[in-house]
């Protein structure tokens, strides 16, 4: 018998937990074709894989059946399944776009495409948003694992979450130099639906992390959903809600002449080379990504895999879905920037850093003066673009 | 009483306690209030000969950092066996907070980047009351990065002579690792907590948590090598103590060296 306190039905009746979203019935023939298209010939919509528990960094065999059931039950009550997602009102998720992105690939009676996440994203990012889809292992960098609520490319200072526009930008533009393609040709409402689904996976993932802490680390098998909502979900929701106030608005200063632009780039090189900015430590003295830190770096998704001896590698494989992937500082001379090469893109990278990576925030933030002023950051942007050969003015 | 979670130990000052804090009330009430709080002291000992502290590889900013004898700080044992840097904190839910502590708490907790290490190596912070003040006393820029669950992550550059003031908004159940992305050998831990009832053992292995509410409380012990300080007497590092108004002293806790030999990777 489950030790989970099954209070989801009561909560739904009270209106606190969202009703699972309805999924249109898919004709059998259509379902067969769609399943074949995604590589599970013969399955039906109800056979679609479930969310996989986030045991990243843990020994999955140490999990007891009771723990697994408690976590899965709580998550399913609050967030439904990949086929029938739900969302607690506290999450602030918009259900219509979420419904369009979720579930099996299909068209509805109105001719709308549904199952967009599975159609466009899951093969890399995984059904669970764990960044471990079937193609992930051969990619560099690995696809993003959304479940930690960490997104690399933001326009927000002080370690704040991204705003919707940040995710929208990545979906539309893709990430140059990675396997993430541009989805700019998708209709507006489909991009909107995908962005909402990414937020859903992030909020669900952060709630899951809290549940692991509660159930596995703290041995609380009787899960109180109110506690999960208040202490697991709500902090993440609050961070999302506050992100808008942290956006770094910036307008590139006008450089009237090529001489002024070159002078700015030269000043940028001085700043780039300064000991205070520490850019050279990773990017090297000439911006070729060959600083003294190169070869030793890893992002937050890989950091815990570092330092394993050959004997420990087998254990690593049990605890992590993907092997260690080192992180290489950007080589400016290649002219490829994952977060975009427009001046404002590079400005944000320097100003707010790259979340989940060693790239720190160089610009000012509330409580921190930073090492570069906005004006100085623009100089560095001009230097980087000149090194990349993409300074088009 | 508000229905509070474990991480939000808030003051539920009774009329008696509030009376004392404000200088009001009768002597009887003051006496009653004084009897409401008591200290917990204890000592944690490494029961064996500690391994020599390894000298860490200092291969970045060598001109500055290379002149320091920087050694592993993950197992700090004093000459008489006292084990430093053990976090000991209240695990019980809904714990009253002594009003005096709210008034006397320091405004901020300071982390210094000095001699190319974090000083201090371990610290606690009362989220609601204290700021996290980070300074850099070194002649090179430093970086301070950490990512607490459900809270804002920090990845800050602290220029030479510079500072930063950060806040933790969410109390955590276990300490959070601090790293410097410029100098990989640097490490530290901070416990953002929901009350003042968290302490760290000093060089002699002793700790003191002042002015706890009297009565039975559960505590958590945590160390960076073991995480939960799991022993036969303290399963998962948890133990219960009855706090008395005159103060409570734990018997010295002796820890077998074997529990600290955990694989560094995991």
Q: Which two tokens stand for residue A176?
A: 């140059």
Residue A217 placed within a domain: yes
Q: Which pLDDT does position A307 carry in this prediction?
A: 82
A residues 70..129 contacting B (CB < 8 A): none
Residues A242 and A164 in one domain: yes
For the segment B211-231, the average pLDDT, to the nearest whole number, is 97
Residues A264 and A354 in one domain: yes
**In chain A, whose CA is at the least distance from the CA of B166?**
A367
SS3 B90: strand
Domain end, chosen from A208, A223, A246, is at A246
Residue A238 placed within a domain: yes
How far apart are the C-alpha atoms of B147 and B154, rounded to whole Å?
6
For the segment A152-176, the average pLDDT, to the nearest whole number, is 97
Q: Which pLDDT does position B94 carry in this prediction?
A: 85
How far apart are the C-alpha atoms of A221 and A211, rounded to whole Å?
10
How far apart are the C-alpha atoms of B236 and A269, rounded to whole Å?
52
Chain A residues whose CB is inside 8 A of the B168 CB are: none
- Give the one of B61, B145, B150 whose C-beta lies nearest to A235's C-beta: B150
| pLDDT value at A338 more than 90 | yes
Residues A208 and A121 in one domain: yes
Chain B residues whose CB is inside 8 A of the A230 CB are: 5
Residues A217 and A119 in one domain: yes
Residue A318 placed within a domain: no
Q: Which pLDDT does position A30 carry in this prediction?
A: 41
Q: Residue A118's closest CA among A71, A166, A85?
A: A85
Residue A352 placed within a domain: yes
Residues A221 and A155 in one domain: yes
Residues A203 and A268 in one domain: no
For the segment A179-204, the average pLDDT, to the nearest whole number, is 98
pLDDT band at B29 (very low <50, low <70, confident <90, very high): low
How far apart are the C-alpha atoms of B246 and B249, rounded to whole Å?
10
Helix (H) or strand (E) holding A66: helix A65-79
Cβ neighbours for A186, distance < 8 A, ≥ 6 positions apart: A116, A120, A194
A residues 307..366 contacting B (CB < 8 A): 307-309, 312, 315-316, 319, 353, 355-356, 358-362, 365
Cα A316 to the center of its chain, rounded Å: 22
pLDDT band at B32 (very low <50, low <70, confident <90, very high): low
For the segment A20-32, the average pLDDT, to the nearest whole number, is 37
- Give the one of B5, B7, B157 whose C-beta lies nearest to A361's C-beta: B157
Closest chain A C-alpha to B253 CA, distance in angstroms? 23
Residue A323 placed within a domain: no
pLDDT digits (tens, 9 = 90+) for B242-263: 999 999 999 999 999 999 986 5
**Which site among B153, B162, B180, B184 would you substitute to test the A interface, given the most A Cβ atoms closer than 10 Å to its Cβ?**
B153
Residue A252 placed within a domain: no
pLDDT band at B31 (very low <50, low <70, confident <90, very high): low
pLDDT-above-90 percentage for chain B = 84
Q: Where is pLDDT greater, at B231 or B265?
A: B231
Q: Where is pLDDT greater, at A164 or A29?
A: A164
Q: Which pLDDT does position B21 carry in this prediction?
A: 41
Q: Which pLDDT does position B152 carry in this prediction?
A: 93
Ramachandran class of A2: left when φ > 0, alpha when ψ lies in -120 to 50, beta otherwise: beta
Residues A156 and A214 in one domain: yes
For the segment B216-230, the average pLDDT, to the nearest whole number, is 96
Q: Which pLDDT does position A177 carry in this prediction?
A: 96
Cα A126 to the center of its chain, rounded Å: 12
Range of the domain at A283: 258-294+329-388
Q: Which pLDDT does position A250 carry in this prediction?
A: 87
Chain A residues whose CB is inside 8 A of the B145 CB are: 358, 360
Are B5 and A355 in contact (CB < 8 Å)?
no
Q: Does B235 touch chain A (CB under 8 A)?
A: no
Cβ A225 vs Cβ A196: under 8 Å: no
**In chain A, whose CA is at the least distance from the CA of B3?**
A227
Residues A183 and A262 in one domain: no
Q: Which pLDDT does position B69 carry in this prediction?
A: 97
pLDDT digits (tens, 9 = 90+) for A58-115: 999 999 999 999 999 999 999 999 999 999 999 999 999 999 999 999 999 999 999 9
A residues 54..73 contacting B (CB < 8 A): none
Long-range contacts of A299-305, Cβ-Cβ distance < 8 Å, separation of 24 or more:
A299/A141, A299/A152, A299/A327, A299/A356, A299/A357, A299/A358, A300/A148, A300/A150, A300/A356, A300/A357, A300/B147, A301/A131, A301/A142, A301/A145, A301/A148, A301/A356, A302/A326, A302/A327, A304/A57, A304/B265, A305/B265
Q: Residue A148's closest CA among B147, B193, B176?
A: B147
Residue A301 placed within a domain: no
Residues A140 and A277 in one domain: no
User: Looking at residue A271, which CATH number applies to its domain?
Assistant: 1.10.760.10
- Give the one of B162, B165, B265 whose C-beta lies nearest to A307's C-beta: B265
How far apart are the C-alpha atoms of A78 and A87, rounded to whole Å?
6
Please report the number of interchain residue pairs, chain A to chain B, with beta-carbon separation below 8 angstroms.
112
Residue A319 placed within a domain: no
Are A276 and B236 in contact (CB < 8 Å)?
no
Are B173 and A213 in contact (CB < 8 Å)?
yes
Q: Which two tokens stand for residue B165?
A: 């003031």
How far apart are the C-alpha atoms of B180 and B186, rounded to whole Å?
6
Residue-range domains of chain B with CATH: 15-260 (2.60.40.420)
Residues A124 and A265 in one domain: no
Residues A112 and A66 in one domain: yes
How many folded domains does chain A comprise?
2
Residues A237 and A384 in one domain: no
């Amino acid at each position: 018998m489950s030790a989970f306190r099954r209070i989801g039905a009561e909560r739904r009746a009270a209106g606190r937990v969202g009703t699972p979203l309805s999924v249109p019935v898919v004709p059998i023939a259509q379902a067969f074709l769609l399943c074949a298209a995604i590589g599970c010939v013969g399955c039906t919509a109800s056979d679609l894989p479930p969310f996989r528990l986030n045991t990243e960094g843990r020994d999955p065999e140490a999990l007891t059946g009771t723990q697994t059931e408690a976590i899965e039950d709580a998550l399913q009550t609050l967030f439904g399944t990949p086929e029938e997602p739900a969302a607690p009102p506290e999450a602030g998720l918009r259900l219509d776009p979420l419904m369009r992105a979720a579930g099996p690939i299909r068209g509805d009676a109105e001719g709308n495409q549904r199952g967009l996440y599975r159609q466009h994203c899951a093969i890399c990012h995984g059904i669970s948003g764990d960044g471990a889809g079937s193609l992930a292992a051969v990619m560099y960098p690995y696809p993003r694992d959304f479940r930690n609520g960490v997104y690399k490319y933001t326009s927000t200072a002080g370690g704040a979450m991204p705003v919707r526009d940040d995710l929208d930008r990545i979906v539309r533009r893709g990430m140059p130099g990675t396997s993430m393609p541009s989805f700019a040709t998708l209709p507006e409402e489909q991009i909107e639906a995908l962005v909402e689904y990414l937020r859903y996976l992030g909020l669900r993932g952060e709630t899951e992390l809290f549940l692991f802490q509660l159930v596995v680390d703290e041995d609380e098998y009787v899960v109180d959903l109110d506690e999960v909502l208040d202490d697991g979900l709500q902090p993440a929701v609050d961070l999302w809600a506050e992100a808008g106030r942290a956006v770094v608005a910036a307008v590139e200063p006008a450089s009237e002449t090529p001489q002024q632009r070159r002078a700015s780039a030269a000043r940028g090189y001085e700043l780039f080379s300064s000991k205070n900015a520490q850019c050279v430590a990773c990017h090297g003295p000439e911006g070729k990504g060959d600083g003294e830190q190169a070869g030793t770096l890893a992002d937050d998704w890989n950091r815990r895999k570092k330092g394993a001896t050959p004997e420990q590698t087998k254990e690593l494989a049990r605890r992590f879905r993907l092997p260690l992937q080192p992180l290489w500082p950007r080589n400016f001379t290649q002219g490829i920037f994952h977060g975009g090469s427009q001046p404002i893109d590079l400005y944000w990278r320097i100003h707010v850093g790259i979340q989940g990576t060693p790239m720190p925030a160089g610009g000012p933030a509330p409580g921190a003066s930073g090492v570069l002023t906005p004006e100085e950051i623009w100089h560095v942007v001009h230097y980087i673009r000149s090194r990349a050969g993409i300074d088009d003015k | 009483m508000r229905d509070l979670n474990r991480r939000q130990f808030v003051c539920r000052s009774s009329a008696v306690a509030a009376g004392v804090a404000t200088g009001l009330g009768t002597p009887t009430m003051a006496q009653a209030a004084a009897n409401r709080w008591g200290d917990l002291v204890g000592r944690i000992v490494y029961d064996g000969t500690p391994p020599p502290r390894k000298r860490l590889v200092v291969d970045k900013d060598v001109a500055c950092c290379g002149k320091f004898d920087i050694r592993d700080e993950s197992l700090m044992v004093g000459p008489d066996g006292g084990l430093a840097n053990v976090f000991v904190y209240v695990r019980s839910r809904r714990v009253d907070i002594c009003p005096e502590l709210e008034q006397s708490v320091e405004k901020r907790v300071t982390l210094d980047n000095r001699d190319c290490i974090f000083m201090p190596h371990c610290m606690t912070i009362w989220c609601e009351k204290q700021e996290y003040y980070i300074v850099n006393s070194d002649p090179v820029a430093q970086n301070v990065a950490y990512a607490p669950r459900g809270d804002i992550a920090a990845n800050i550059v602290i220029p030479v002579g510079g500072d930063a003031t950060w806040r933790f908004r969410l109390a955590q159940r276990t300490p959070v690792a601090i790293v410097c992305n410029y100098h990989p050998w640097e490490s530290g831990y901070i416990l953002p907590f929901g009350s003042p009832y968290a302490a760290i053992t000093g060089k002699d292995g002793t700790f003191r948590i002042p002015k706890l509410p009297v009565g039975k409380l559960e505590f958590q012990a945590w160390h960076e090598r073991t995480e939960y300080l799991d022993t036969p007497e303290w399963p998962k590092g948890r133990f219960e103590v009855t706090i008395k108004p005159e103060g409570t002293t734990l018997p010295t806790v002796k820890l077998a060296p074997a529990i600290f030999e955990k694989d560094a990777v995991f």
